[in-house]
Structure formats: C-alpha cells, structure tokens
Chain A
C-alpha cells in the first residue's frame, strides 16, 4: 500500500535531480558562450572554452555559484568528454598529400617529440613535488 503513496515521491526526486542537471548545463553552456564572446576581443588566441573554464573556477571560488549547482552536470559531461572528440578523430581520414608524402618522417618526429615531452614534464613535476615534500 505505501508503495503507491511513495510513487509521487520518487517522481519528485527524479524531476528534482533532472532540474539540478538542467541548471548545471545551462550554467556551463552559458559560460562557454560567454567565453567565446570574450575570446573575440583578446589579442592572443585563447579558446572561448578555456576562458569559460577560468570564469567557472572564479565563480565557484568567490562563492557566487555554489558547487552543488554545477556538480552533477560537470561530472556527467566529463565522463563522456572522450565521446565529443570522436568526430574530430574520424577527420583523420581527410589528411592531405603533404602528410602522406612525408608520413614516415612525421611519424618519427612526432613519436620522438611526444615521448620526450611526456617524460621530461612528468618526471620533472614528480621530482620537484617529491623534493618539496621531503625538505
């Protein structure tokens, strides 16, 4: 019997969570669009999304926006972040002739560079943090 009475409760809970999700999305999308707008007026090429990210951080830091307004929407978006890149990845099939002609050289250059940078930045950071903690 009580199950029938609790049905509206569960419905309310779902609607409440959905509402929170929508509120989070509206804030995140809004800040992204605002960042894109600001980006047009900056002298250096910073993507609008990165500006939006900085503003998001500042709004949370200055307690203008409480964390629970944007928490679940941001977790959801970040969980599926990889998916949003797939269409760009598929774009690799469109590579031009210059890439095909120098394919082997590019591959060698890329692998050597990214592995070196991966090693240098990761190790350097790890050792600096470690040293700071010991002293």
Chain B
C-alpha cells in the first residue's frame, strides 16, 4: 500500500513544481522527504516499505532500456560528438577517482571508507562491484551514490548556471558524470538531448571507472 503514498507524493510534487519551480518541490527530493516523514510518522520499517515499493523499482531496468530508444532518436547528434564525449568522460572519470583518493588521504579516512567512496560518480550496481573488491562496504557505497544522485537531481540546473554550461549536450554529460540515473531522470526533463548525453555519460563512465578506480587505488593504497 505504501507504494501508493510514493506515487501520490511524486504526482503532487510534479504538479507543484510545474506551477512553482521551488527547490523543495523538485519531485524526487520532495517525494523522498515525504516518504521518510511517512515512515517516521507511521513507524513502518524501511524493509517493509521497500518490499511494498518493488512495483516501482522493478520498472527502473525497463526505463534504462528505454534510454536506448532515446539514443536512437538522437543518433546523429551523438555521432558527430563521439570524440569529445569519450575524451570528456575519460578525463572526468580519472579526475573523480583521483580527487577521492587524494582527499581520502588528506582527510585521513579509514581505507574501508576510502574504498567505499572511490566509485562515487557511477551508477549503483557498478559502483558496488567496483568498491567491494577493494575492501569497501556496499552499503556505504550505495548510500553515498544515491545521495549524490539526489543532489544532482535537485541542484544540477543551478550548477549548470554557475559554471556557464549552456550547450544542451554538455549539460547532459556533466549531469550524467556525477549523478548517474537519478540525475538523468532530471536531465530528460530539461531537454531530450540533455537526457541522451546524460544517459550516455552515465553508462560509459560506469564502464570506464571499472578500470580507472582499481588503477588509482593501486597508486595510493597499493
């Protein structure tokens, strides 16, 4: 039954956000907050809530497959930008794992935590596979990755303005590089091409980081 709460909150937030585009009304953020309050209020535990919401999470896989349809529709735009896309993703992935490794050393984080944080920019299923062999905790990895996704979903339009990223494709690359699927869900709302490039950046970054993360790990902790 609690899946109805999730759906109603999301639809309500969409309506509110289309009328008044305040940050608090960003649909995913608003619904997550509402559901957390709902759990606190009714005393339902998370496991039960998650079980009842499998209807929604099971649609995530087909939605990602649907990104393939979007890519086909934007095929020409992708083709003419393939070089810049791969360069931007490779540099972004290296910058990400390098920064995490350096900051983890500077902040003297325990190595279990550092390993858990290393793949923080990529989609959860890959991130877990990357952090676990390095001694990371999958639970920490998924909480951080999803938290970043929520941040990206909420703030990416603001960040785009800060950094003067105006190109619709570049906006997608930036969003997909840090906030993977949850950010891509927002990118699709901004522009079809932003959604496509966000989805592409998410997928390619995920695969590239499978190689860059262990490499950086061996440099800093090997």
Given contacts A70-B69, A85-B28, contact A116 B99 (CB under 8 A): yes
Contact of A82 among B87, B153, B174 (CB under 8 A): B153
Contacts of A77 in B (CB 8 A): 59, 62-63, 66
Interface centre among A47, A54, A99, A102 (most CB of B within 10 A): A47
> Number of contacts between A and B (CB, 8 Å)?
305
Q: Is the interface of A mostly helix, strand, loop or mixed?
A: helix
* 18 more A-B residue pairs beyond the given contacts A85-B28, A118-B175, A121-B173, with a C-beta to C-beta distance below 8 A: A45-B130, A45-B210, A47-B126, A70-B69, A71-B69, A77-B62, A83-B27, A83-B56, A86-B35, A90-B39, A105-B109, A109-B103, A110-B148, A113-B99, A118-B163, A121-B92, A129-B170, A132-B84
In the assembled complex, which residues on chain A have CB atoms less than 8 Å from the CB atom of B137? 96, 98
Does chain A have a CB within 8 A of B188?
yes
- The answer to whether the Cβ of A112 comes within 8 Å of any Cβ in the partner chain is yes
For B64, B91, B96, B149, which residue has the most chain A Cβ atoms within 10 angstroms? B64
Question: Cβ of A128: which chain B residues have Cβ within 8 Å of it?
Answer: 83-84, 87-88
**A79, closest chain B residue (CB):** B188
Chain A residues 1-59 with CB under 8 Å of chain B are: 25, 28-29, 31-32, 35-36, 44-50, 52-57
Interface size class of A (residues with CB under 8 A): 35 or more
Chain B contact residue count (CB 8 A cutoff): 105
B60 within 8 A of A: yes
Q: Which residues of the partner chain A approach B144 to less than 8 Å between Cβ atoms?
A: 99, 106, 110
Contact residues of A with B, CB < 8 Å?
25, 28-29, 31-32, 35-36, 44-50, 52-57, 60-61, 67, 70-71, 73-75, 77-96, 98-99, 102, 105-106, 108-110, 112-126, 128-130, 132
